[in-house]
Structure 1
């Protein structure tokens, strides 16, 4: 009796090296919503789709500038000078430069982190900086109002940062189960991946079909000279193509049954206009900006309707409401450092999305309605007396 059995052939080893993506932004296809991974994903979306990047920059620009009004005019003038000249890092100055970087992180990542840097002696604010949200974590406390901002220490371990009162943290539309907020770009990675596949396919098709390739077929008619004739035709065809590259014109003459066709000319080219527009419509709807402001000519007119202006004004007002507490903290701390006890009010620049003629016409209609109301009230009063 044999104490061993013949072994079968060994199983094939699994593939270890695999393709990471079909287009340069392969991260979009493997979307997994992790906290730190989300930020890299959303930045890849902005880099891959210029419309998304342009929409976020337009929202930042339309948010406008900010000032502060105080009951003490001396304090107000000094506060305005501080808001105009405070260093914001990376060669930027002013509170508006800080808010642009802060809002960019808020819209892209769903949260923003900043820091108030006091000067020596704690009698002034030396700078107001925004930071990388990937470098911090939020630890919630025992109640919904308590949370601690944590960052890496010298050993690289995450721990509470020492001066919590000098840190600025703002989440965008936070959910009940997470304090990190929700990015404006949530929901776009799936659509962006489809859009990148379409663009990548268009590029590959142009790369293949733009450089035309010919198929030359020679039928010898059964005389057994196909090999000689094919070599002769190949040589003549090659010389004709080389002369064409140099700018000269050379005719190709062949004897017999010769068929010349363009390879791939009969294959239909998929129409990408409809699917690309459907995806871009979803992107534009997510940002809330009219299409023509992003360079998309979908309508016959190029003027913004009053409904679109009202909706965009509402979006900008909501963004300002989110940023107002941050500006108030900075201004209040500066006033207290300089010994001012007066209150303050954050004031934003007026949102102007309509033509001046339309504004004037609307004001005229309001005054006419007011005049008629006064005349009717006077007439009713005269009748009663």
Structure 2
């Protein structure tokens, strides 16, 4: 279907339409992607809290099961999802979905592809947004092109592509990154951290001001100053504790000893609060020991659960399309249902107590009705 060519009787080559040819490099003529992508990558690289939050959301997304009307189809589909090749080095639908989800959160859009071989789904591929261009063709259609050494070419099989947009604006194909609004806050935070590093570097490597008041007569003032400077350098560079002996009126003071380093705890926390509020991950999951009651932590966990449910609703159509395509190509009825595992952020003891109290209340109510 995609023009695959056999290398050997038992092997069939696959072709990925959302990747440029090997001889093509982005630095050689492809127009760069939107500046936001580079900015969001830099945010994840320079602010560990942002990168940790996205990684936490990926792990907390949870697993899912696929239910099919035919038991045989369901069993084979489960095996396919566990063993499907993903890119050059990974395997399984979880690997594909994890990269797809991170791309969606970081950039607001995600692009994937089902790679066919011999009339079957042979692999899944996560396309880089730097290589593809999404264009809106009409109110309900999307046109995907890929940049190669000969310029932009249209992907010939759009039915094999997987596209998602996170919170797009009305009438727009472009999604909204989870990191939008954080560059300004992160810039202030990084400035504070950089200043702290410079200050501690100066405090750790103390500079001294050596002042020598010469004799009122001024005799041999230059020679004494040079001798004093030489002895001071020898004492500081020896690498060992040594005494510095000087004759005359000599004053030694640490540079900046009278200055006070600004307290960074309050502004740093204010910036971190803004980042945590935007990402939606409770502080206690990121190792932040902010004062919060147990009740507040429970409410934050419930809010995170609702956020994850919303992300699942965005990813479910992608999974459904993969499963239905595989079923259709294998000759099965292309009907399936994606069932996500329940998200629980609470202690199992609390859940058990809640179920016990509910059952107890129901028993008491039934007893009152019998009376």
Q: TM-score range by the shorter chain?
A: 0.7 to 0.9
Can you list the C-alpha shifts for 1:4-61, whole angstroms capped at 9, x where unaligned?
xxxxxxxxxxxxxxxxxxxxxxxxxxxxxx9621111101110010100000000000
How far off is 1:278 after superposition?
Answer: 0.6
Tell me which residue corresponds to 2:15: none
Matched, 1:103 2:105: no
How far off is 1:229 after superposition?
Answer: 2.7
Q: For residues 113-262 of structure 1, what are the structure 2 equivalents within 5 Å? A: 113-120=111-118, 122=119, 124-142=120-138, 144-153=139-148, 155-157=150-152, 159-225=153-219, 226-243=221-238, 245=239, 247=240, 249-262=241-254
Distance 1:343 1:375, change over 3 A: farther
TM-score (ref. length: structure 2): 0.86
Is the 1:292–1:302 Cα contact (8 Å) retained in structure 2?
A: no
Q: For the residues of structure 2 that align with 1:106 and 1:242, how far apart are their CA atoms?
A: 55
How far off is 1:221 after superposition?
Answer: 4.7
* Secondary structure in 1 matching 2:305: helix
Is the 2:99–2:126 Cα contact (8 Å) retained in structure 1?
A: yes
Distance 1:359 1:233, change over 3 A: same
* Secondary structure in 1 matching 2:151: coil
Q: For the residues of structure 2 that align with 1:342 and 1:38, how far apart are their CA atoms?
A: 38
Computing the radius of gyration from Cα coordinates, the structure with the larger value is: 1
Q: Of 16, 19, 40, which residue of structure 2 is paired with 1:42?
A: 40
Is the 2:182–2:275 Cα contact (8 Å) retained in structure 1?
A: yes
Moved more, 165-174 or 346-355: 346-355
TM-score (ref. length: structure 1): 0.83
Distance 1:239 1:141, change over 3 A: closer
Is the 2:33–2:129 Cα contact (8 Å) retained in structure 1?
A: no
Any stretches of 5+ residues in structure 1 without a counterpart?
Answer: 1-33, 380-385
Any stretches of 5+ residues in structure 2 without a counterpart?
Answer: 1-31
Tell me which residue corresponds to 1:79: 77
Is the 1:107–1:183 Cα contact (8 Å) retained in structure 2?
A: yes
Is the 2:104–2:110 Cα contact (8 Å) retained in structure 1?
A: yes
Can you list the C-alpha shifts for 1:122-172, whole angstroms capped at 9, x where unaligned?
1x2101111112222222233x22222222255112x43100100000000
Distance 1:377 1:70, change over 3 A: farther
Is the 2:324–2:334 Cα contact (8 Å) retained in structure 1?
A: no
Q: For the residues of structure 1 that align with 2:328 and 2:334, how far apart are their CA atoms?
A: 9
Q: For the residues of structure 1 that align with 2:226 and 2:43, how far apart are their CA atoms?
A: 52
* Secondary structure in 2 matching 1:134: coil
Is the 1:72–1:342 Cα contact (8 Å) retained in structure 2?
A: no
How far off is 1:64 after superposition?
Answer: 1.2
Q: 4+ residue stretches of structure 1 with deviation over 4 A?
A: 300-304
Q: For the residues of structure 1 that align with 2:284 and 2:199, how far apart are their CA atoms?
A: 29
Equivalent pairs, count:
339
Q: For the residues of structure 2 that align with 1:104 and 1:219, how far apart are their CA atoms?
A: 66
* Secondary structure in 1 matching 2:144: strand
Tell me which residue corresponds to 1:357: 349
Q: For the residues of structure 1 that align with 2:213 and 2:230, how far apart are their CA atoms?
A: 17
How far off is 1:181 after superposition?
Answer: 0.3
How far off is 1:306 after superposition?
Answer: 2.0
